[in-house]
Amino acid sequence: MEAESLVCVSTVHPDIVKPVRRLVCCCCGGSITGRQFHNQDTGHGLGDCCVEFVKPRTEDMERTYGIEGVHYLLDPLVLVRQSDGREWSKWRISLRLTDRCGLLNAPDPEKRPAFSRLQSDPALLRSLQAQMPWNVSSIVRKDGVWGILFEVPFATVESETGKVDPQDPWYLSLPLQEEKSSQILSAFPKLANAFPGVLFAVPDRDHVELGRTTVWAFVPHGLLDAMQRFDLIGALRQL
């Protein structure tokens, strides 16, 4: 077994089920958004505005303020579909902290609140990079859990209209967007059984490339070994 597979798999913190609410920053008194942490007064928590201020002044951030990505510096909301229906659910995920080669992307406090944490921890970055299949994945953080996001896009009639000859045999063979989405979503139960612990979704059009219908697979840090990741890529591409 390869060394990377021995890394303990990240688990979702139990406080992730607590509601996200308006709180008062325990540092500056400003109005913030976060989850209540048991070691803070009710209605108070650490604001994103003060994280960098308190870090060098706090011996134990987790004991004092909770978990980054769970209680403060929450990952952004993204609309996804996780079942074969028209309803949408929400993922909290800091997307594309790296490109598909594992290189850090540009900082973006709103879209990538987890960026500074990853940038400041070379060991974490290297460990995650070692789990990235080339050109199909990027490093992300979902609900405070580090991991790899596999992204496999599929062309549809809607995504390619106006880009290719409408009489091209390839274009004429393309499915409609909703047909492809339903096909992908209907495969999720089988995929979940084959890859326990991996989370699957179809994201909204605001978070895909070239307007193509895309399947996401979130793999928590250390969950799969190299062969399992290879098998996952193959399963996604066959959808």
Phi–psi pair at 34, nearest 5 degrees:
-175, -170
What pLDDT was estimated at residue 30? 97
Task: Return the pLDDT at 83.
Answer: 83
What pLDDT is attached to residue 3? Answer: 38
Q: Which of 150, 139, 108 is nearest to 236 (CA)?
A: 150
Give the model's pLDDT for residue 10: 62
Give me the residues of the chain with pLDDT under 70, please. Answer: 1-10
pLDDT number for residue 112: 87
Please tell me the pTM assigned to this model: 0.90
